[in-house]
Structure 1
Amino acid sequence: MPQRFLSIIITIIALSVSCIKTHATSGTMFVIDSLRTELHGAKTPTDSLPIMLNLYDVLPREKSNKIGDSLYYTAMRAHDYNSALDIIRNQANRYMRRDSMLRDLTEKALKCPESNDRKETVTFIRFMQNMRRAYYSDTEERKEALKERMEEIMLNPPSDLYDRAALTHGICLLLSDIPNSNLLVSYMDSLKNIINRLPSNAYSLRNAYNVHAASIYSFTNPERSMEADLNTLRNIELLKKQYSAKGRKFRNYHPSFYTIYTRLLSNFEILDTAKVNEYYSKAIVQLPFDPAIHETYSNSQLPDIYYSMFYKDYSRALPLIKEAINQPMTQARYKLLLQLEIECAEALGDKEILLKASSDYIKVLKDEIEEQSHSSYRELQTAYAIYDMKYRVTQMAKEKSESVASLQHTIILVSICAVIILIILAIFLFLQFRKNRMLIRNLSETNQKLLSESENLKQSRAELIRARDTAQKANNLKTDFIKNMSYEVRVPLQAINEYSHLIADCVGNASSDDMERISQRHLTHFADLLELNSELLSTIINDVLRLSEIDSSPISVQPVVINIKLLCEATLDSVRHRVKPGVTLSLAPECGPIEIFSDPTRLQQILNNLLTNAAKFTDKGSIVLSYRTNDSDSKIIFTVTDTGIGINAKNKDKIFDRFFKIDRDSQGAGLGLTIARLIAQRLEGDVELDTSYTSGARFSVTLPKN
């Protein structure tokens, strides 16, 4: 009764699920249309790829095959190589019979960056090629292929684990028509060990091995067959989690589940009731989810047959067996179905069916015995071939050993001769050594004297070179100084002279009535120009004197506590008259009171030079002086930022050279920045050009706070 009740419940579930098949189909079409609409809106390969993957999973097999190439190229453009390799493996599984397609898929896989995933994919394609060769070649081709692979694995075994897996898998498939062969079992065990050494995520290769093992052992070793199927189920569950995490929720696992649970159920004789009920229900529940499964079940209801035979429901099992036994898809199970038919006929007392089934079973046994004899002969041939190859390997090893021994003998003779020659040569060299030692001793003394004289000459030469370079440098500096000063001093002196004469002429020739008008219109302007040129001349002379002071003796530093804000404001006031009309000169508003311990005079000289330089080259905009402390509060950083003509980044070091001027027509001797940097370095700081600022020029002065 329990099994009857469970059977009825499972049948009701299957019928209920079948009733929603039409709705599921319409739902699938809705999903396909939705994905296609979403795909039209995707603009990049990265956006298109997940939509196309879901479309590949949900479309019927014959339609999804057509988008395989497009999906591969989309994944490559998106640089998602894992998805590209996954598509290649799927396509290889579907086009296993087409060798040209498998070669094309191999070339596509090799375009991906080298990785374990790429190695797994290339090896999986080789597995498919092995299957095509084993299942769809004639006997002679399989025999020749087996011989080639046996020779390779015996004489030149591959060192790479993936290559060894593909080679061993090919041998196992070519031996699979000898199911009881010890040789096949041995190579299957070897393949299992290789597969277990591969990375844990090589699911495609593990599943390929498990499916093959489950099929081979299903008739001879049910326990190992079930172990392989259960391993496949575990791998599929892991793959489902991975694909689900990537958003692939439409991937179809139902055909694999139906096949595996049906094969597990075929071992009902060694299963308990709970397992039989579990495997049967899990096989039946897959029916409405794939038309191919439903068609297979309609032609041969193998799950129902195994389920009924477990519960000895012979009256239900017998008609199902009679319907399935002659179907093309059950030919691999023909012998087992005959055994079940005989068991049912005996139990039901149907002598007619029993007689026919027994006759057919005897014929199958006869054919099997004949096939086993042929298989045994092929196994003997294979074993002989293996023995022959091993003998050849042994002979080669023996020949190699003899060759090595002969080579060693030759090496010994040559070594003895070489030793004798070396002894004679050593005696000759010893005599020569004694003869030459005296010469060497004399030469050593002479050489020592020569070395001492040579060293003295080198030192004298180096001193002369240094003196020459110093003199040349001083001469160059003198020449540059004279050139710069002759030009820079002449211009303001000439201006002072001319404007002095103009003032004298204006005052001397003017009447008392015109004097007031002249003083208002001209004298003030001339006086300003006189003052400007006098100040320029004074600046040039002060720069030269200050540089001379720096060169002739160390700069004196008298550090005191300085209020930076007051010093900056005083410096700005001292150069404000140099700023051109329309240019604003200011202290940054965020600058608060800060005190440091340094020399105020030297600091003001640095800032004065930088601000004067900024005023000279800024015709409009602003000049801003600011300061701040660094992150560790150990240094203070001043910046002078202007909106002037700016400085090319390639001149960031040259501008600090003496007498260097970007604009030769500009006022000054080209010493302001040189002096500013020298003083800053004396204060243990530095002056630098900020090349990241492009709206003018920005100089930064970094000094220690204490």
Structure 2
Amino acid sequence: MITLSVCTGVSAKDSARERLRETYIDSLPRLTNPDDSLSALYNILDLSGIDNRAEAASTLLDFGMRHGNDELCLEMIRNLANYHFSNDSIMAELLEMTQSFEPSDLQKETLAFVKVFSEIKASGSMNEDDRQTHVVDLIKEFNSTPSDDPYDQVVQLFILCINLGGETQGELLESYFNILENKIKQLPVTTYALRNLFFSQESITFTNNGEYEKAVKSDRQLMDIVDIMQSNYAAQGRIYRNFDTYRYLYLRRMLRNFPALTLDEAEKYYSCIMTLADSVPDIKRAITESNDPHVFLLLKQGRYKEAIPMLKKRLSDNKSINIYQRRFLLRNLIKAAEKTGDDESLINASRDYVDTLKKYVKIKNGERYRELQIVYEISRLKEQNASMELQRQMQTNNFQNTIMNISIGAAGVLLLVACIFVFLFFRFRKLSKQLSAANRDLRHERDQLKETRDQLIVARDKARTAENQKTEFINYISHEIITPLNTVIEYSQMIIDSADDSKREYLDRFSQVLRLNTGMLRTFVTDVQEISIMEHNMMSIKLRPSSLKNICTLVVDSVRINVKPEVELKFAKAGAPDTSINTDPYRVEIVLLNLMSNAVKFTESGSIVLDYDVNGDNTVTFSVTDTGIGVPAEKRKTIFERFRQIDPEAEGTGLGLHVSRLIATLLNGSICLDESYKQGARFLFTIPVNKPEPASTAEAAL
């Protein structure tokens, strides 16, 4: 079993490499051969630390431009794109520079590399909505207008995967990774830069998703690539060029995915990492800070008690680990605590894991939701494309059918023209006979229409006579009914007045019933008569100055006798200054009496209030408000029609509101139910203040 090596301190190799680099820099002025200068510049680049590499690469790029070395220039452009991908102006300059070279596989690979790295910065600065829209556009572009050039296809898919990775780490991203991998395999095997970039992105995604086998497979391919590149550089004499930092990243990630490794593999990778740490100070510092390789090996070896302190220390550094790493480390800490019986660590880790899991699930749900949105948009676009393709095919078929039909038609035109003359001759003879018969039919129809017209005139005259007779009958009946009713009321009152006090109270109850029913009958006859008058343009409006207070007081006093004891009857403006308007007071009183009578009839308790307001538009609005049963919603649109009642079992004829609407229209006013009032019913009756122009009776009837 491999034991852990603790990496501490800083190797002296940093200083040695820096001194060697300065030696090559000092030797440059003495070199006269371009090959020697190139070799020295390569060594300076390979010996440079992170802070000096960009400057060394720029120097090599200038050297390549001066000596026409396209391969060198393109390699340095890729290096500079890797160093400056977050600088938009430098990336734009590198892109323009790459486009100036003659097209080749190396030039296309470099161009694709720069475009992809530029997109990494652009994608990271987008918000979720803009990125999602961008992803849908990229998918639409890839599916509808794919490029014929394999490098352009790789760029399209790379940019799509980068932006899609910002939205989701799920199945949709993996599906496009698979497509991208197939496209990259079609490129020359020497396109190491693109392959390296692809497998790195793929491995990170698989690691975050917990797909350990796939992640390890990607990192092994990365290891193969760097081995090939290391060998190629060594063959070129670049003895200081190494990929130890990259190897460390790949080995550490494979060790992090230890569930997919055998114990021998895990110990082998750990040994390789420790060997790298001995030779590369940066790697040693990274291991000292994180202890990741130690933790992962301990977990693989089942040495949980030793792993617990390291896991806790790693988890305490919230800034350097993301939600995916934290979830992975907590899950292993819980497992280690369970294996060792460390209840305190188990409880604390479980609590932290629950909180982390909530955040993780929220992130995953958000990713899944955005992925479903993208899939929906893709499906919709595919459906649109299919519909457009079907439409295009139908148009093509229609065009072909049209050409065929035209050809067939043209072939038959001559034959048709020859037949037309023969046909027209016989047709003319037939039409002459049909025309004569049609003339006879028209004369017959003319005589029938004249006879029908005469019949309609007679029917119209009969209808007018019947209408006049109906009006005369209504007037006659009204007179013949109202006169006896008045007599009945008067004689009933005389009987009560002539009775002694002992019987008067008894007879008075019958008299009230008699007056109530005769009053209802008289109201019905009066309403029918007024409707007939208004519908036949026979009602006249007599405008004169009228006191609003007098009108309202008269109406209130007229209905007071019928108000129930539990109801308070009020005239809101009783104590206010009077207002005079030009109107027909008798017609206004009829409308208000109808509204007040309805309020009295349907209000068992509470209040009935008559009020008016003079409006700024030269109108006055009367309101009758009660606390009764109100008007059901289903009857609000029909209550102004004739013979419509709120309660069919209640007394009344159902004509009062209809008559009121006719009178309101005749006065150039309006009447309506205030549907915003919910404590009962409120009717609003509005008429002009100044002298109105009376509406026609035809309008009133409407």
TM-score, normalised to structure 1's length? Answer: 0.56
1:28-68 CA-partner distances (Å, limit 9, x unpaired): 12311221122112235444222112211111121121232
Is the CA contact (8 Å cut-off) linking 2:290 and 2:314 kept in structure 1? yes
Q: Does 1:208 align with 2:204?
A: no
Is the CA contact (8 Å cut-off) linking 1:314 and 1:344 kept in structure 2? yes
Task: Give the corresponding residue for 2:500.
Answer: none
Task: Give the corresponding residue for 1:33.
Answer: 22
Is the CA contact (8 Å cut-off) linking 1:133 and 1:142 kept in structure 2? no
Distance 1:208 1:172 in 2: 12
Q: Does 1:57 align with 2:46?
A: yes
Task: Give the corresponding residue for 1:123.
Answer: 112
1:562-602 CA-partner distances (Å, limit 9, x unpaired): xxxxxxxxxxxxxxxxxxxxxxxxxxxxxxxxxxxxxxxxx
Change (3 A) 1:422 1:72: farther
TM-score, normalised to structure 2's length? Answer: 0.56
Higher relative contact order (CA 8 A, sep 6+): 2
Change (3 A) 1:140 1:98: farther
Task: Give the corresponding residue for 1:159.
Answer: 148
Q: Does 1:402 align with 2:391?
A: no
Change (3 A) 1:39 1:374: same
Residue 170 of structure 1: how far off its partner (Å): 1.9
Q: Does 1:226 align with 2:216?
A: yes
Change (3 A) 1:180 1:110: closer
Distance 2:47 2:406 in 1: 77
Is the CA contact (8 Å cut-off) linking 2:24 and 2:44 kept in structure 1? yes
Task: Give the corresponding residue for 1:308.
Answer: 298
Amino acid at match of 2:386: T
1:55-204 alignment, distance < 5 Å? 55-177=44-166, 181-204=170-193
Residue 362 of structure 1: how far off its partner (Å): 0.6
1:519-530 alignment, distance < 5 Å? none
Task: Give the corresponding residue for 1:680.
Answer: none
Instruction: Say which SS state the counterpart of residue 3 (structure 2) adopts.
Output: helix
Q: Does 1:329 align with 2:320?
A: yes
- Residue from 357, 363, 382 that aligns with 1:365: 357
State the percentage of identical aligned residues: 25
Residue 338 of structure 1: how far off its partner (Å): 0.6
Amino acid at match of 1:189: N
Greater mean alpha carbon deviation, residues 216-225 or residues 229-238: 216-225
Residue 412 of structure 1: how far off its partner (Å): 2.3
Is the CA contact (8 Å cut-off) linking 1:134 and 1:173 kept in structure 2? yes
Distance 1:74 1:119 in 2: 21
Is the CA contact (8 Å cut-off) linking 1:180 and 1:220 kept in structure 2? no
Amino acid at match of 1:380: L
1:381-402 CA-partner distances (Å, limit 9, x unpaired): 1011001110110121122112
Amino acid at match of 2:396: V
Change (3 A) 1:93 1:421: farther
1:479-530 CA-partner distances (Å, limit 9, x unpaired): xxxxxxxxxxxxxxxxxxxxxxxxxxxxxxxxxxxxxxxxxxxxxxxxxxxx
Task: Give the corresponding residue for 2:368.
Answer: 376
Residue 96 of structure 1: how far off its partner (Å): 1.9
Residue 106 of structure 1: how far off its partner (Å): 1.2
Task: Give the corresponding residue for 2:676.
Answer: none
Residue 214 of structure 1: how far off its partner (Å): 0.8
1:452-475 CA-partner distances (Å, limit 9, x unpaired): xxxxxxxxxxxxxxxxxxxxxxxx
Distance 2:18 2:307 in 1: 37
Residue 180 of structure 1: how far off its partner (Å): 5.7
Is the CA contact (8 Å cut-off) linking 1:300 and 1:330 kept in structure 2? no
Residue 273 of structure 1: how far off its partner (Å): 2.2
Is the CA contact (8 Å cut-off) linking 1:154 and 1:389 kept in structure 2? no
Task: Give the corresponding residue for 2:498.
Answer: none
1:643-658 alignment, distance < 5 Å? none
Distance 2:20 2:260 in 1: 43
Residue 90 of structure 1: how far off its partner (Å): 1.2
Residue 129 of structure 1: how far off its partner (Å): 2.3
Amino acid at match of 1:171: L
Residue 226 of structure 1: how far off its partner (Å): 0.8
Distance 1:137 1:283 in 2: 37
1:96-152 CA-partner distances (Å, limit 9, x unpaired): 222322221111212222110000111111221232233443212321221220110
Is the CA contact (8 Å cut-off) linking 1:48 and 1:74 kept in structure 2? no
Is the CA contact (8 Å cut-off) linking 2:216 and 2:260 kept in structure 1? no
Distance 1:295 1:135 in 2: 29
Unmatched 5+ residue regions in structure 1?
Answer: 424-706
1:8-19 alignment, distance < 5 Å? 10=5
Amino acid at match of 1:148: D
Task: Give the corresponding residue for 1:278.
Answer: 268
Amino acid at match of 1:296: A
Is the CA contact (8 Å cut-off) linking 2:215 and 2:257 kept in structure 1? no
Instruction: Say which SS state the counterpart of residue 112 (structure 1) adopts.
Output: coil
Unmatched 5+ residue regions in structure 2?
Answer: 416-702
1:293-304 alignment, distance < 5 Å? 293-304=283-294
Is the CA contact (8 Å cut-off) linking 1:92 and 1:102 kept in structure 2? yes
Amino acid at match of 2:186: R
Amino acid at match of 1:163: D
Amino acid at match of 1:407: F
Residue 421 of structure 1: how far off its partner (Å): 10
1:344-375 CA-partner distances (Å, limit 9, x unpaired): 22233332222121111011111222222222
Distance 2:170 2:259 in 1: 24
Task: Give the corresponding residue for 1:385.
Answer: 377
Distance 2:274 2:119 in 1: 32
Distance 1:51 1:162 in 2: 33
Amino acid at match of 2:320: M
Greater mean alpha carbon deviation, residues 248-257 or residues 285-294: 285-294
Amino acid at match of 1:323: K
Instruction: Say which SS state the counterpart of residue 320 (structure 2) adopts.
Output: helix
Q: Does 1:217 align with 2:213?
A: no
Change (3 A) 1:289 1:415: farther
Distance 1:294 1:347 in 2: 30
Task: Give the corresponding residue for 2:623.
Answer: none
1:618-662 CA-partner distances (Å, limit 9, x unpaired): xxxxxxxxxxxxxxxxxxxxxxxxxxxxxxxxxxxxxxxxxxxxx
Q: Does 1:346 align with 2:346?
A: no
Amino acid at match of 1:34: T
- Residue from 4, 7, 11 that aligns with 2:3: 7
Distance 1:256 1:245 in 2: 20
Greater mean alpha carbon deviation, residues 227-236 or residues 182-191: 182-191
Residue 295 of structure 1: how far off its partner (Å): 3.1
Distance 2:26 2:368 in 1: 60
Amino acid at match of 2:61: Y
1:256-295 alignment, distance < 5 Å? 256-295=246-285
Is the CA contact (8 Å cut-off) linking 2:169 and 2:367 kept in structure 1? no
Task: Give the corresponding residue for 1:442.
Answer: none
Instruction: Say which SS state the counterpart of residue 321 (structure 2) adopts.
Output: helix
Distance 1:370 1:245 in 2: 51
Distance 1:413 1:47 in 2: 79
Change (3 A) 1:26 1:366: closer
Change (3 A) 1:191 1:271: same
